[in-house]
Amino acid sequence: MKIVPVVLAGGTGTRLWPLSRSALPKQFIALTSDKTLFQETLLRTPPGAEFHDPVVVTNGDYRFYVQRQAAEIGVTPTIILEPARRDSAPALVAAAAYVARRYGPETLVLALASDHVMLETDKFRACVATAAEAAALGHIVTFGITPDSPRTSYGYIKLGDALTVAGAYKVASFVEKPDAATAQTYVDAGYLWNSGNFVFPAGLLISEASAYEPDLAAHAVASLELAVEDLGFIRLDPKTFEAAPAKSIDFAVLERTSSAAVVRGTFTWSDVGSWDAVHEVGTTDADGNVVQGSVMLLDSTGSYVRSDGPLVAAIGLDNISVVATDDAVLVMPSDRSQDVKQLVTALKQSNRNEADVHRAVHRPWGTYQTVCLGDRFQVKKIVVAPGGVLSLQKHHHRAEHWIVVRGTAEVTLADHKFTVHENESTYIPIGNVHRLANPGRIPLELIEVQTGSYLGEDDIVRLEDVYKRA
């Protein structure tokens, strides 16, 4: 029986700021390789003999990230959109209902977080095979990881009796994030970390959720039954889904069911929930440093230094984390990584845009980035993905000059459509209806010079939009 991977990709983690922000969270960032964490998650379970095409649960803000990044690696998922964030339980129950309806209630689901690192793919798939064998006997099976230290940031699992499947055990108990002393006793007693990834029969999860959280299960299932398809996405019914209580699958089901089981994960795993965790899964140099991007270190040890923007040069660092983007730099002792969330909260309270958005703003069609902003003018770099189409629109207060520097632009201006090639330009007068599209196979890059009395993004009157934005 083939397994259906269900990937949860709606999180908005801020502990990896300034790289991860709510507008572009860590699952959609290339954190440890040239692939994003989301892409690496999909590649662990390629469609074929063992796995069906994946199901991805995300939200409207991230739907085009999911679609585009999956397409980049040749994967075509079913994408289910949550109308509101309700934690993992409603999302997984709705996804299980979809799997049960399409493939049958006995079909096994592999529920995966989209923002975890799991190395040694062969070992991971071997553990999935063991978990699937146990799940087929009527269990909800989690992957437990052998601790390498008494972490206080993870939940723990106490093993119970062995099952008839070699390597699988009943769960005696789940315990939440402990203090340091308690964590040490758990490690000494052979407890495992709870990785938060599961295998289960779709129907079993629904029935167990119905037993312990009937209101949650009923609303989650109903939201799938009333869902509509839109632009290739499955949109869960807002009214019924939003009525479901917000609970994690651990609290709602796993910690209460008698069907919980665990398989010891032999692969390297991390939820990369902080910069020190990213350091741990990175490749260190002879001095224990992990370096990514444009970085030069001198006489430094045990540090994590990453730049996705300017050159970062440092002297004499010891257990320091430095993360630079093109608009923000984070510097801290590595053991203060858990305080980044508090820092982001302070940035939001100070109304700093950098708390939530990058300088490069992502849209369904591509990205734009402000290069220069002055009195009555603004210069932007615009990148339109192959096949990308901006809305048919007009502006009341600004004119625009477009200079194509790469690729080919298809321009609609009033009732005229024409092509602009590299090293050519065109002019969009104030008030004229216009549209920009990329008909080519490579990204379209252009420089846009805006001039006028008001240059805000709210001076866009959309007349028609293929992505159905307001």
What's the confidence (pLDDT) of residue 459? 93
Q: How does pLDDT run across 197-214, given as a tens digit for each residue?
A: 999 999 999 999 999 999
pLDDT at 470 > cutoff 80: no
Strand segments, DSSP code E, in 258-357 are 260-265, 269-270, 290-298, 304-315, 320-324, 329-333
Q: What is the mean pLDDT of the chain?
A: 95
Tokens describing residue 192: 């495992």
Give the integer Cα–Cα distance in Å for 53 and 453: 50
Q: How does pLDDT run across 145-193, given as a tens digit for each residue?
A: 999 889 888 999 999 999 999 999 999 999 988 999 999 999 999 999 9
Give the integer Cα–Cα distance in Å for 35 and 44: 12
Block residue for tokens 């407890």: 191
What's the confidence (pLDDT) of residue 437? 98
What's the confidence (pLDDT) of residue 196? 93
Give the integer Cα–Cα distance in Å for 117 and 272: 7
- Residue 364 CA from chain centroid, whole number: 16
Cβ contact 337:277 at 8 Å: yes
pLDDT interval class at 2 (50, 70, 90): very high
Helix (H) or strand (E) holding 109: strand 108-113
What's the confidence (pLDDT) of residue 177? 87
Average confidence (pLDDT) over 213-218: 97
Domains of the chain are 4-270 (3.90.550.10), 283-355 (no CATH), 360-464 (2.60.120.10)
pLDDT interval class at 231 (50, 70, 90): confident
What's the confidence (pLDDT) of residue 13? 76
Average confidence (pLDDT) over 33-40: 95
Q: Which long-range contacts (CB under 8 A, 24 or more apart) does 349-358 make?
A: 354/18, 354/21, 354/327, 354/328, 355/14, 355/17, 355/21, 356/21, 356/22, 356/23, 357/21, 357/22, 357/23, 357/24, 358/21, 358/23, 358/24, 358/325, 358/326, 358/327
Kindly state the DSSP code that residue 244 receives in the 8-state scheme: S
**Nearest alpha-carbon partner for 234 in 104, 70, 60:** 60
Cβ contact 448:379 at 8 Å: yes
Strand segments, DSSP code E, in 202-253 are 228-230, 233-235
Q: How does pLDDT run across 396-445, given as a tens digit for each residue?
A: 999 999 999 999 999 999 999 999 999 999 999 999 999 999 999 999 99
The partner residues of 434 in beta bridges, in order of sequence, read: 393, 413
What's the confidence (pLDDT) of residue 306? 98
Helix 88-103 and helix 202-212, axial crossing angle in degrees, nearest 10: 140
What's the confidence (pLDDT) of residue 153? 86
Give the integer Cα–Cα distance in Å for 166 and 171: 15
**Nearest alpha-carbon partner for 79 in 1, 150, 9, 169:** 9
What's the confidence (pLDDT) of residue 469? 79
Average confidence (pLDDT) over 74-100: 96
pLDDT interval class at 1 (50, 70, 90): confident
pLDDT interval class at 341 (50, 70, 90): very high
What's the confidence (pLDDT) of residue 36? 97
What's the confidence (pLDDT) of residue 108? 98
Give the integer Cα–Cα distance in Å for 204 and 227: 22
Cβ contact 230:468 at 8 Å: yes
What's the confidence (pLDDT) of residue 152? 87
Question: Which residues have a Cβ under 8 Å from the Cβ of 75 and sit 6 or more positions away?
Answer: 42, 43, 46, 47, 53, 54
Tokens describing residue 458: 């709210």
Average confidence (pLDDT) over 349-362: 92
pLDDT interval class at 230 (50, 70, 90): confident
Q: Taking the model in full, what pTM does it have?
A: 0.91
Give the integer Cα–Cα distance in Å for 190 and 158: 8
Helix (H) or strand (E) holding 211: helix 202-212
Q: How does pLDDT run across 247-306, given as a tens digit for each residue?
A: 999 999 999 999 999 999 999 999 999 999 999 999 999 999 999 999 999 999 999 999
What's the confidence (pLDDT) of residue 378? 96
